[in-house]
Amino acid sequence: MNLSGIRRGPLVVGERVTLTDSKGRRKSLLLKEGGVWHTTKGAVSHDELIGGPEGVTIKSIGGMQYLVLRPLLSEYMVAMPREAAVIYPKDAAQILMWADIFPGARVMEAGVGSGALSLALLRAIGPDGELHSYERRQEFADVARRNVETFIDGEHPAWRLTVGDLVTELRDDRLDRVILDMLAPWECIEAVGERLEPGGLVCCYVATSTQLGRVADTFRAHGGYTEPHLTETTVRDWHAEGLAIRPGHGTSAHTGFLAISRRLAPGVTAPMRKRRPAPGAYGPDYTGPRPANIPGM
Protein backbone atom coordinates (compact mmCIF):
# COMPACT_ATOMS: atom_id res chain seq x y z
CA MET A 1 0.00 0.00 0.00
CA ASN A 2 1.23 3.49 -0.91
CA LEU A 3 -0.77 6.14 0.98
CA SER A 4 0.62 9.05 -1.03
CA GLY A 5 0.10 7.38 -4.40
CA ILE A 6 3.64 8.45 -5.37
CA ARG A 7 5.64 5.69 -7.08
CA ARG A 8 9.32 5.52 -7.92
CA GLY A 9 11.47 3.14 -9.91
CA PRO A 10 10.59 1.14 -13.02
CA LEU A 11 7.07 1.02 -14.42
CA VAL A 12 5.27 -2.18 -13.45
CA VAL A 13 2.21 -4.14 -14.53
CA GLY A 14 -1.00 -2.78 -13.03
CA GLU A 15 0.00 0.86 -12.65
CA ARG A 16 -1.31 3.76 -14.68
CA VAL A 17 0.74 5.96 -17.01
CA THR A 18 -0.06 9.04 -19.08
CA LEU A 19 1.01 9.25 -22.71
CA THR A 20 1.17 12.76 -24.21
CA ASP A 21 1.57 13.48 -27.94
CA SER A 22 3.17 16.50 -29.62
CA LYS A 23 -0.11 18.46 -29.50
CA GLY A 24 -0.52 17.98 -25.75
CA ARG A 25 -3.27 15.38 -26.03
CA ARG A 26 -3.17 12.85 -23.23
CA LYS A 27 -4.12 9.21 -22.92
CA SER A 28 -4.24 7.32 -19.63
CA LEU A 29 -3.19 3.66 -19.83
CA LEU A 30 -3.32 0.86 -17.26
CA LEU A 31 -0.25 -1.25 -18.03
CA LYS A 32 -0.94 -4.90 -18.81
CA GLU A 33 1.49 -7.61 -19.83
CA GLY A 34 1.03 -8.10 -23.57
CA GLY A 35 -1.31 -5.10 -23.78
CA VAL A 36 -1.52 -2.93 -26.89
CA TRP A 37 -2.88 0.60 -27.32
CA HIS A 38 -4.15 1.20 -30.84
CA THR A 39 -4.04 4.73 -32.29
CA THR A 40 -4.59 6.31 -35.70
CA LYS A 41 -0.79 6.49 -35.92
CA GLY A 42 -0.25 2.82 -35.16
CA ALA A 43 -0.05 0.66 -32.06
CA VAL A 44 1.94 1.13 -28.85
CA SER A 45 2.97 -1.99 -26.93
CA HIS A 46 2.70 -1.96 -23.15
CA ASP A 47 5.65 -4.36 -22.93
CA GLU A 48 7.95 -1.63 -24.26
CA LEU A 49 7.10 0.46 -21.20
CA ILE A 50 6.98 -2.20 -18.46
CA GLY A 51 10.28 -2.41 -16.61
CA GLY A 52 11.53 0.91 -17.94
CA PRO A 53 11.61 4.35 -16.29
CA GLU A 54 9.08 7.12 -16.64
CA GLY A 55 10.05 10.35 -18.35
CA VAL A 56 10.90 8.63 -21.63
CA THR A 57 9.43 8.81 -25.12
CA ILE A 58 7.99 5.94 -27.08
CA LYS A 59 7.20 5.82 -30.78
CA SER A 60 4.13 4.13 -32.25
CA ILE A 61 4.41 1.89 -35.28
CA GLY A 62 3.23 4.84 -37.39
CA GLY A 63 5.99 7.11 -36.10
CA MET A 64 4.07 9.22 -33.53
CA GLN A 65 6.12 10.02 -30.42
CA TYR A 66 4.57 10.04 -26.95
CA LEU A 67 5.99 11.26 -23.65
CA VAL A 68 5.48 8.68 -20.89
CA LEU A 69 4.97 9.79 -17.28
CA ARG A 70 3.17 8.55 -14.22
CA PRO A 71 0.04 10.68 -13.68
CA LEU A 72 -0.01 13.43 -11.09
CA LEU A 73 -2.89 13.35 -8.62
CA SER A 74 -4.54 16.20 -10.52
CA GLU A 75 -4.35 14.20 -13.76
CA TYR A 76 -5.68 11.04 -12.13
CA MET A 77 -8.62 12.95 -10.65
CA VAL A 78 -9.93 13.99 -14.07
CA ALA A 79 -9.06 10.75 -15.91
CA MET A 80 -10.26 8.12 -13.42
CA PRO A 81 -13.57 6.26 -13.95
CA ARG A 82 -16.59 8.13 -12.67
CA GLU A 83 -20.29 7.74 -12.00
CA ALA A 84 -20.78 11.27 -10.70
CA ALA A 85 -19.13 14.57 -11.57
CA VAL A 86 -15.87 15.22 -9.73
CA ILE A 87 -14.56 18.29 -7.94
CA TYR A 88 -11.87 19.48 -10.33
CA PRO A 89 -8.26 20.03 -9.21
CA LYS A 90 -8.53 23.83 -9.19
CA ASP A 91 -11.40 23.68 -6.68
CA ALA A 92 -9.87 20.83 -4.68
CA ALA A 93 -6.71 22.92 -4.27
CA GLN A 94 -8.74 25.87 -3.00
CA ILE A 95 -10.60 23.63 -0.55
CA LEU A 96 -7.37 22.22 0.88
CA MET A 97 -5.99 25.71 1.48
CA TRP A 98 -9.08 27.75 2.45
CA ALA A 99 -10.44 24.94 4.63
CA ASP A 100 -6.98 24.56 6.20
CA ILE A 101 -6.80 20.77 5.89
CA PHE A 102 -3.81 19.68 8.00
CA PRO A 103 -2.05 16.39 8.87
CA GLY A 104 -3.98 14.57 11.56
CA ALA A 105 -7.21 16.52 10.99
CA ARG A 106 -10.60 14.94 11.69
CA VAL A 107 -12.50 15.68 8.49
CA MET A 108 -16.01 14.83 7.33
CA GLU A 109 -17.18 15.08 3.72
CA ALA A 110 -20.67 14.55 2.38
CA GLY A 111 -21.21 13.85 -1.28
CA VAL A 112 -18.28 11.60 -2.23
CA GLY A 113 -19.16 11.40 -5.92
CA SER A 114 -16.34 9.52 -7.65
CA GLY A 115 -13.75 10.08 -4.93
CA ALA A 116 -11.64 12.89 -6.39
CA LEU A 117 -11.80 15.18 -3.37
CA SER A 118 -11.48 12.17 -1.05
CA LEU A 119 -8.06 11.45 -2.55
CA ALA A 120 -6.91 15.04 -2.05
CA LEU A 121 -8.18 15.08 1.55
CA LEU A 122 -6.57 11.73 2.40
CA ARG A 123 -3.20 12.87 1.12
CA ALA A 124 -3.47 16.06 3.20
CA ILE A 125 -4.54 14.47 6.51
CA GLY A 126 -2.09 11.57 6.29
CA PRO A 127 -2.32 8.24 8.15
CA ASP A 128 -2.89 9.92 11.52
CA GLY A 129 -5.99 11.86 10.44
CA GLU A 130 -9.58 10.72 9.99
CA LEU A 131 -11.79 11.16 6.95
CA HIS A 132 -15.46 10.24 7.39
CA SER A 133 -17.18 10.24 3.99
CA TYR A 134 -20.92 9.97 3.40
CA GLU A 135 -22.55 9.12 0.08
CA ARG A 136 -26.25 8.46 -0.52
CA ARG A 137 -25.88 6.28 -3.61
CA GLN A 138 -24.25 2.86 -3.41
CA GLU A 139 -23.03 2.91 -7.03
CA PHE A 140 -21.22 6.23 -6.45
CA ALA A 141 -19.63 4.91 -3.27
CA ASP A 142 -18.43 1.75 -5.04
CA VAL A 143 -16.73 3.77 -7.80
CA ALA A 144 -15.16 6.14 -5.27
CA ARG A 145 -13.78 3.25 -3.24
CA ARG A 146 -12.26 1.62 -6.32
CA ASN A 147 -10.68 4.89 -7.46
CA VAL A 148 -9.10 5.56 -4.08
CA GLU A 149 -7.84 2.00 -3.62
CA THR A 150 -6.46 1.92 -7.18
CA PHE A 151 -4.46 5.08 -6.59
CA ILE A 152 -2.93 4.01 -3.28
CA ASP A 153 -2.83 0.23 -3.92
CA GLY A 154 -5.14 -0.73 -1.06
CA GLU A 155 -7.38 0.53 1.72
CA HIS A 156 -6.49 3.80 3.43
CA PRO A 157 -6.42 3.38 7.24
CA ALA A 158 -7.76 6.92 7.81
CA TRP A 159 -10.83 6.57 5.55
CA ARG A 160 -14.32 5.47 6.59
CA LEU A 161 -16.96 5.48 3.85
CA THR A 162 -20.63 5.31 4.84
CA VAL A 163 -23.52 4.83 2.41
CA GLY A 164 -26.56 6.77 3.61
CA ASP A 165 -27.99 10.19 4.33
CA LEU A 166 -25.68 12.46 6.32
CA VAL A 167 -28.30 13.75 8.76
CA THR A 168 -29.50 10.27 9.76
CA GLU A 169 -26.14 8.47 9.62
CA LEU A 170 -23.93 11.18 11.16
CA ARG A 171 -21.87 9.86 14.06
CA ASP A 172 -21.16 11.74 17.28
CA ASP A 173 -17.42 11.98 16.62
CA ARG A 174 -15.82 15.38 17.13
CA LEU A 175 -14.72 17.10 13.91
CA ASP A 176 -12.19 19.73 12.88
CA ARG A 177 -13.34 20.31 9.31
CA VAL A 178 -16.52 19.59 7.31
CA ILE A 179 -16.78 19.61 3.50
CA LEU A 180 -20.30 19.55 2.03
CA ASP A 181 -20.61 18.83 -1.70
CA MET A 182 -24.33 18.25 -2.04
CA LEU A 183 -27.52 19.70 -3.50
CA ALA A 184 -28.82 21.32 -0.29
CA PRO A 185 -25.93 21.74 2.18
CA TRP A 186 -27.91 24.26 4.24
CA GLU A 187 -30.00 21.35 5.54
CA CYS A 188 -26.92 19.90 7.27
CA ILE A 189 -25.30 23.01 8.76
CA GLU A 190 -27.15 22.64 12.08
CA ALA A 191 -26.30 18.94 12.42
CA VAL A 192 -22.60 19.23 11.62
CA GLY A 193 -22.30 22.30 13.84
CA GLU A 194 -23.09 20.14 16.86
CA ARG A 195 -20.04 17.96 16.11
CA LEU A 196 -17.60 20.72 15.16
CA GLU A 197 -14.96 21.87 17.60
CA PRO A 198 -15.02 25.61 18.39
CA GLY A 199 -12.96 27.23 15.66
CA GLY A 200 -13.73 24.32 13.32
CA LEU A 201 -14.69 25.05 9.75
CA VAL A 202 -17.46 24.20 7.28
CA CYS A 203 -16.80 24.48 3.54
CA CYS A 204 -19.77 24.14 1.16
CA TYR A 205 -19.19 23.51 -2.55
CA VAL A 206 -22.22 24.52 -4.63
CA ALA A 207 -22.84 24.97 -8.35
CA THR A 208 -25.23 27.94 -8.58
CA SER A 209 -25.44 31.45 -7.17
CA THR A 210 -28.91 30.65 -5.78
CA GLN A 211 -27.43 27.82 -3.70
CA LEU A 212 -24.59 30.10 -2.64
CA GLY A 213 -27.00 32.72 -1.31
CA ARG A 214 -29.06 30.12 0.54
CA VAL A 215 -25.95 28.70 2.23
CA ALA A 216 -24.70 32.16 3.24
CA ASP A 217 -28.07 33.12 4.72
CA THR A 218 -28.22 29.84 6.65
CA PHE A 219 -24.83 30.47 8.24
CA ARG A 220 -25.99 33.97 9.27
CA ALA A 221 -29.37 32.82 10.53
CA HIS A 222 -27.76 30.11 12.65
CA GLY A 223 -25.83 32.70 14.62
CA GLY A 224 -23.10 30.31 15.72
CA TYR A 225 -20.85 30.79 12.71
CA THR A 226 -18.61 33.57 11.45
CA GLU A 227 -19.61 35.68 8.45
CA PRO A 228 -19.18 33.29 5.46
CA HIS A 229 -16.35 33.79 2.99
CA LEU A 230 -17.70 33.30 -0.56
CA THR A 231 -15.39 32.65 -3.52
CA GLU A 232 -15.21 31.40 -7.09
CA THR A 233 -11.99 30.28 -8.77
CA THR A 234 -11.13 30.54 -12.46
CA VAL A 235 -7.87 29.39 -14.07
CA ARG A 236 -6.56 30.71 -17.39
CA ASP A 237 -3.73 29.10 -19.33
CA TRP A 238 -1.11 31.26 -21.05
CA HIS A 239 0.90 30.78 -24.23
CA ALA A 240 4.47 32.10 -24.23
CA GLU A 241 6.76 31.48 -27.21
CA GLY A 242 9.26 34.15 -28.15
CA LEU A 243 7.39 37.44 -28.48
CA ALA A 244 4.03 35.68 -28.81
CA ILE A 245 2.71 35.99 -25.26
CA ARG A 246 -1.05 35.78 -24.90
CA PRO A 247 -3.81 34.00 -23.01
CA GLY A 248 -4.16 30.39 -24.04
CA HIS A 249 -7.27 28.77 -25.43
CA GLY A 250 -7.65 26.43 -22.46
CA THR A 251 -9.49 28.33 -19.73
CA SER A 252 -11.26 26.69 -16.81
CA ALA A 253 -14.01 29.12 -15.86
CA HIS A 254 -16.95 28.45 -13.57
CA THR A 255 -17.24 25.03 -11.96
CA GLY A 256 -18.59 25.93 -8.53
CA PHE A 257 -18.64 28.30 -5.55
CA LEU A 258 -17.12 27.88 -2.09
CA ALA A 259 -18.85 29.14 1.05
CA ILE A 260 -16.65 28.88 4.13
CA SER A 261 -17.49 29.68 7.75
CA ARG A 262 -16.01 28.86 11.18
CA ARG A 263 -17.84 27.52 14.22
CA LEU A 264 -18.05 29.72 17.29
CA ALA A 265 -17.89 28.46 20.87
CA PRO A 266 -21.15 27.19 22.43
CA GLY A 267 -23.46 30.04 23.42
CA VAL A 268 -21.51 32.67 21.45
CA THR A 269 -23.38 34.65 18.79
CA ALA A 270 -21.68 36.11 15.74
CA PRO A 271 -21.29 39.92 15.80
CA MET A 272 -23.74 41.91 13.67
CA ARG A 273 -22.39 42.77 10.24
CA LYS A 274 -21.62 46.47 9.81
CA ARG A 275 -22.18 46.80 6.09
CA ARG A 276 -25.70 47.63 4.99
CA PRO A 277 -27.47 45.20 2.66
CA ALA A 278 -30.00 46.54 0.20
CA PRO A 279 -33.65 46.82 1.35
CA GLY A 280 -35.43 43.55 0.60
CA ALA A 281 -32.17 41.60 0.38
CA TYR A 282 -33.49 38.97 2.78
CA GLY A 283 -36.13 36.57 1.53
CA PRO A 284 -39.32 35.66 3.40
CA ASP A 285 -37.82 32.37 4.65
CA TYR A 286 -34.88 34.07 6.40
CA THR A 287 -35.28 33.81 10.17
CA GLY A 288 -31.98 35.21 11.43
CA PRO A 289 -31.09 38.64 12.83
CA ARG A 290 -31.84 41.57 10.55
CA PRO A 291 -30.09 44.95 10.62
CA ALA A 292 -32.31 47.45 12.46
CA ASN A 293 -31.27 50.43 10.35
CA ILE A 294 -32.70 49.15 7.08
CA PRO A 295 -36.16 50.42 6.10
CA GLY A 296 -38.72 47.64 6.10
CA MET A 297 -36.51 45.28 8.16
Residue 176 known to bind ligand? no
Q: Rounded to the nearest 10 degrees, how much is the dihedral formed by the CA atoms of 19, 88, 107, 230? A: 150
Residue 69 known to bind ligand? no
Residue 60 known to bind ligand? no
Residue 54 known to bind ligand? no
Residue 181 known to bind ligand? yes
> Are 7 and 21 spatial neighbours (Cβ–Cβ below 8 Å)?
no
CB neighbours of 291 closer than 8 A, spacing ≥ 6? 272, 273, 276, 277, 297
Backbone angles phi, psi at 94, to 5 degrees: -65, -40
Residue 135 known to bind ligand? yes
Q: Which of 259, 261, 257 is nearest to 201 (CA)?
A: 261
d(CA 239, CA 278): 42
Cα-only R_g, the chain: 23
> Are 145 and 115 spatial neighbours (Cβ–Cβ below 8 Å)?
yes
- Going 109 to 113 to 114 to 117, the CA torsion angle's sign is negative
24, 99, 108, 116, 121 from 87: Cα distances, Å: 23, 15, 16, 6, 12
Burial class (CB in 10 A: 0-12, 13-18, 19+), 274: exposed
- Which residue ranges are tagged as binding site for S-adenosyl-L-methionine? 114-117, 135, 165, 181
Return binding residues: 114-117, 135, 165, 181
